[in-house]
Amino acid sequence: MSFVNPPAPPATPSTHRQVWAMAGPIIFANISVPLLGAVDTAVVGHLPEIHYIGAVAIGAMLFTYIHHLFNCLRMGTTGPTAQARGAGDYEEVRALIGRALLLAGVIGGALVVLQLPIIAFALWLIGASTQVEHGAREYFLIRIWSMPAALAGYAIIGWYYGLRDARTPLVVQVFANALNIGLDFLFVFGLGWGVAGVAVASVIASYAGLTLGLLCVWRTLTVLPGSGHARLLDRARLLRLVSINSDLVLRTFCVVSVLGLFMAKSAELGDLTLAANQVLHNFLVFTSFGLDAFAHAAEAILGEAVGRRDRAAFQRAMRVVFLWAVIVGLLNTLLYAVAGHGIIALLTGITEVRAAAEQWLAWAVLMPMVALWAYTYDGVYLSATRTTAMRNTVILAFIAYVALLYVLVPVYGNIGLWVALAVFLGLRGLLLHLVFPALLRTI
């Protein structure tokens, strides 16, 4: 991956161990998230009326959108923390968690204040039945109070990743998700609270997870070198953090909108196509578990090299991260090629949906090798806090995606839809690769 200067020294077994020390726990933490969603659906799925499922599905979708949009608090904290640690500036390391928590509180508080117009606008867009709309509103207006805690949790996770500690966030996430699952059963089946019980469980689990996370942060601060938080409210550094997160919000908005448009166009092609594409989309979600883990590892390990201004170490670790990302991508491709039909059968028992999903399975098989470059380069750019380049390249890829949707889908149907998605993912990786030399020159 070297573009300038002599090649970096070859990677050592130690570099591989460092990458896996980060990536391994993150993969396990990622797996716990869809498990929680599955339990939420299963719990309400055993209630007597079908509208309970629809209410939780819509409410959960809204929170998924919000969580994705403000995951910037995680992404925007890891790189600066890793850089400060690499530079030996532990006063800045300490200040960063304070700034990130402050920003999380402001954003979370704003979401709570704006809860009524947010849910009114969302339900207006969705146009659900009266019963589903009532349940979704109830779910949203309860769970929205978890947002300050949830966003603060993102900040804590990002800070720990920057310290190259993926185990502490894993413990906190597993604790919060396990508590959430237990409370789901207690409130829904034990107390009969229905949809409200699922929402209350999320609120309690979020604040319990935040409490454990803050206790871990306090313990870590006591053992970090140095002392003091003199620069906590430093105006220039606060503005930098806001700028980083603003870039990431715009970037994430484009990424999330791609999925929204993908599903909207799928719906236009018919219920069968929509169901088949939803099944196949799960293949991409499974792939992201591994690829995201290596991107997070890149943020931490490469960020330290940026902080030390050690270009050779940066290139060496970058090669290792990309090597493992390619291996994971290949393994996913092989798995889907060999077992794709069986996975589809596990995801749906409807014969027509199975047949349609199998018809387009080749696209799900192809996607890991297309997507891994964009996913992994995201981690590289976050390590150097070059978020403007991330934002601009995603916007260009998004424009190309939208153009292809309106050119290809009317002619080629679902194939055109998958081509547009592949181009979006591939173009993101290609553009980040093309502008990478400018990033490397700054290290």
Average pLDDT of every residue of the chain: 84
Query: How crowded is residue 14: how many other Cβ atoms within 10 Å of its Cβ?
Result: 9
> CB-hemisphere CA count at 13 Å for 140?
29
Cα 204 → chain centroid = 22
Query: End-to-end alpha-carbon separation of the chain, Å?
Result: 14
Q: Which residue ranges in the chain fall short of pLDDT 70?
A: 1-13, 32-61, 125-132, 227-230, 232
d(CA 176, CA 184): 12
d(CA 39, CA 184): 8
d(CA 331, CA 339): 12
Instruction: Please count the helices (runs of H) and the strands (runs of E) in the chain.
Output: 17, 0
| Helix ranges, 46-144 (H) | 51-69, 72-86, 90-113, 115-126, 130-143
d(CA 399, CA 227): 47
List C-alpha distances in Å: 381 to 281, 308, 432, 433. Answer: 26, 16, 8, 10
d(CA 433, CA 394): 13
- State the amino acid at position 251 in one-letter form: R
d(CA 280, CA 421): 13
* Residue 195 falls in which region: left (phi positive, over 0), alpha (psi -120 to 50) or beta: alpha
Q: What is the DSSP-derived secondary structure letter of residue 187?
A: I
pLDDT at 8: 44
pLDDT at 259: 81
Kindly state the tokens that stand for 101: 């928590």
Asked if residue 181 lies in contact with residue 36, where contact means CB atoms within 8 angstroms, the answer is yes
Asked if residue 396 lies in contact with residue 428, where contact means CB atoms within 8 angstroms, the answer is no
- State the amino acid at position 254 in one-letter form: C
Q: What is the largest CA-CA distance in the chain?
A: 67
- Residue of 108, 100, 51 lying closest to 80 (CA atoms): 100
